[in-house]
Structure 1
Amino acid sequence: MPKTFLYYGGIKLTSKIPYDKPPCPDTELLQQLRNRGLDIEDETRTIRYLNFIGYYRLSAYFLPYQSEKDKFRDGVEFDRILSLYIFDRKLKLTLMEAIERIEVAVRAATTNYMSLRTGDAHWFLNENHFDNYSPDKGKSFQSFDGYLQSICSSIDRQIDATPIVHYYSKYSFPDYPPGWVVMEVLTLGQVSKIYSILRTKYKRKIAKKFKTSWQVLEAILLSLTVIRNKCAHHQRVWNVKISYPPARTVLKNIAPQYSGSPNSPCVIYFMIWFILTRINNDSNWGARLCEQLLELDESLLHKIGLDLNEIYTYLIEE
């Protein structure tokens, strides 16, 4: 059999064996869970959740309750797994609420400052305003042409969006809408990358609006982009590790007394809270998040390195 080559992130992967697992009906999946030691009291109810959530999605929540691969610890009930799934779903909603507020604020702060500073509504088309290209960790565009291509593609994909339709139905020139319109059709990832390639003198002024340095704001936007995408695509976040953790020097600005891992879930909460309080210092988001975290089993908190006392200190007491 010839080898099959796959590509992921530019890396060539070789598939070792063909996938030959057949799909299983609900009754077989139910029995499989029982064979692996999971307590199931209500078969009809469990099957309903398997149907409307999916065995594969739920299987990611099995792991904390297993003593070894495909073996549940004694006394683990299906409802404990379901509770963790529901907790994670609610946590995603809480995180998205805050990230949306931050995303909108950064969009506005960036295009407002750049438009007024340059006196040009189409500042985003001027290469002279950008110079920090770098392929490192996907933090920014590698060239101005690559940046423009990404922006143009987003406009094309959103060509039926109301602000875009309004512009092209009324104006014949320039070829692209003004910055404040374009910003509304970009992803948070693109907004983050635009900020990262702006000339440092511009980044510094925009960050000042959030009472921080450009290094801190850039690091936060990079990390929050990943978390935002996980939330939007319904991936697990309760035990997520930050893909691009902030440098220790940056983390010291966000949470000075924190000495734990920089890719811990609690760093996500600290970063969100750090920016959120600079947008609205009366926000109760931190208190609501702390109350929500109390719903998580203490054993699971320790498993992912969450210290509620430390989180409480940064999100409520400060």
Structure 2
Amino acid sequence: MAKVPYTKPALSYTDQLQRLKDRNLTIENDSKAIHLLEKISYYRLSGYWYPMLKIPKSNHIFKENSNLKNAFKLYCFDRELRKLISGELEKIEVAVRARMIYTLSHTHGPFWFDDSTLFQNNWTFNKTNARFTKDFSDSDEEFIKNFKLNYSENLPPSWMMLEITSFGSLSIVFKNLKPSREKRFIANSFGVNETTFQSWLHSMVYIRNVCAHHGRLWNRNMSITPSIPTSPINPFLNITTLPNHDVTQPPIDLNNRTYYILSMIIYLLNTINPNHTFKEKLFDLLKKYPTIDVKAMGFPEGWENENIWKWKNIVISQKWYNILSKKIRKKFNKLHF
């Protein structure tokens, strides 16, 4: 289809409000509606009233009994969900940094990240180290200032360097490491193999960026999808697909939906701190917003029966899991309190 120039004009708040009314959206209080349009914006809110549109949605006509108040509630839920997820991703990021720094520094020395022989792709290695150099140069952390004053190396040891780099850089460094016992150990420490772990890291960086830029998350189809582990060490998900409405097509993977992301976060937190309260906080949030349709978030039928979504989980170390026979492992993966 040929592209055409964009000719839609900018509308005043009053005109925006009238357009919503003309399209059958119930507005209970005009002054409050104008306030929301002014402080949040028409376009940002449109992502939350979009589910209320009749089919075809391109006509922009709202279903009966649709109102702005419900769209705003959905916006508030999404905002609180992003804050909750951001806090948990921080815990995972810190734990990943700690494990990588400790494991690789004890095997390859404090400056392992500057050793090109440990990495697969030289171009990625050089680009990452250029990023490290800039981070080091720009940092105003006191421990970095002290290092610059007292030591001759171009970059500090990994326990300093990785503290001032982004989660994205951390993810790239892990992915670019050559296959090794240390790389496997780091991934296994979080209950998955190295291929799954690097996929999950990449996905968490993407989710963290969505949250940081206040993007709509609750019913998002993720453009960067985490892989589905084939043999996780601890209980994960039995249901990872949804039936396809077109029976001639294969089932639809759930790993691009918010439900899967939440499950992934719970799985990782279970290995970091089995006493975490993320599930409780999430359940409290859903209770606070009872009108939220969890199916729109990708929650499948029977999700509450999944081991990982039950109140408690059994988590064991990689060492003891490897000792178990394959038959006992299968039984273990079905256990739950």
Tell whether the structures are fold-level matches, with TM greater than 0.5. Answer: yes
What is the match of residue 179 of structure 1? Answer: 158
- Distance in 1 of aligned mates of 2:175 and 2:4: 42
> In the comparison of the two structures, how many residue pairs are matched?
294
Structure 2 counterpart of 1:57, from 41, 44, 47:
44
The question of 1:107 aligning with 2:107 is answered no
What is the match of residue 3 of structure 1? Answer: none
1:129–1:198: 8 Å Cα contact kept in structure 2?
A: yes
Structure 1 counterpart of 2:135, from 151, 154, 165:
154
CA 1:194–1:223: 2 relative to 1, 3 Å: same
Q: CA deviation at 1:147?
A: 2.3
The question of 1:263 aligning with 2:256 is answered yes
TM-score of the two chains, using structure 1 as the length reference: 0.84
Q: CA deviation at 1:269?
A: 0.9
Q: CA deviation at 1:49?
A: 1.3
Secondary structure of 1:186's aligned partner = coil
Secondary structure of 2:276's aligned partner = coil
Structure 1 counterpart of 2:212, from 220, 226, 232:
232
Structure 2 counterpart of 1:153, one-letter code: K
- Distance in 2 of aligned mates of 1:100 and 1:75: 40
What is the match of residue 246 of structure 1? Answer: 226
Secondary structure of 1:71's aligned partner = coil
The more displaced of 275-284 and 296-305 is 296-305
Structure 2 counterpart of 1:279, one-letter code: I
What is the match of residue 192 of structure 1? Answer: 171
Structure 2 counterpart of 1:166, from 146, 165, 168:
146
Q: CA deviation at 1:151?
A: 2.2
2:24–2:62: 8 Å Cα contact kept in structure 1?
A: yes
Q: CA deviation at 1:107?
A: 0.8
2:196–2:227: 8 Å Cα contact kept in structure 1?
A: no
For residues 130-172 of structure 1, give each alpha carbon's deviation from its aligned partner in whole angstroms, at most 9, with x where no partner exists. Answer: 12x3xxxxxxx8532222223223333x33233322322x224
Q: CA deviation at 1:298?
A: 5.9
What is the match of residue 6 of structure 2? Answer: 19
1:290–1:308: 8 Å Cα contact kept in structure 2?
A: no
The more displaced of 307-316 and 121-130 is 307-316
Structure 2 counterpart of 1:198, one-letter code: L
Where in structure 2 are there 5+ consecutive unaligned residues? 242-253, 314-337
What is the match of residue 4 of structure 1? Answer: none
Q: CA deviation at 1:89?
A: 0.2
- Distance in 2 of aligned mates of 1:46 and 1:213: 50
Q: CA deviation at 1:312?
A: 6.3
For residues 212-255 of structure 1, give each alpha carbon's deviation from its aligned partner in whole angstroms, at most 9, with x where no partner exists. Answer: 32223212111111111100110011012232323344486662
- Distance in 1 of aligned mates of 2:51 and 2:76: 15
1:151–1:186: 8 Å Cα contact kept in structure 2?
A: yes
The question of 1:116 aligning with 2:106 is answered yes
What is the match of residue 273 of structure 1? Answer: 266
Structure 1 counterpart of 2:117, from 105, 111, 128:
128
What is the match of residue 294 of structure 2? Answer: 301
- Distance in 2 of aligned mates of 1:241 and 1:203: 30
Structure 2 counterpart of 1:197, one-letter code: N
Q: CA deviation at 1:272?
A: 0.5
2:259–2:297: 8 Å Cα contact kept in structure 1?
A: no
- Distance in 2 of aligned mates of 1:113 and 1:271: 23
The question of 1:208 aligning with 2:188 is answered yes
Residues 68-107 of structure 1 mapped to structure 2, 5 A cutoff = 68-69=57-58, 70-107=60-97
For residues 16-56 of structure 1, give each alpha carbon's deviation from its aligned partner in whole angstroms, at most 9, with x where no partner exists. Answer: 33333322211111111111111111111111111111111
Q: CA deviation at 1:112?
A: 1.5
- Distance in 2 of aligned mates of 1:247 and 1:270: 12
- Distance in 2 of aligned mates of 1:166 and 1:242: 42
Secondary structure of 1:60's aligned partner = helix
Give the root-mean-square deviation of aligned CA atoms.
Answer: 2.4
1:216–1:250: 8 Å Cα contact kept in structure 2?
A: no
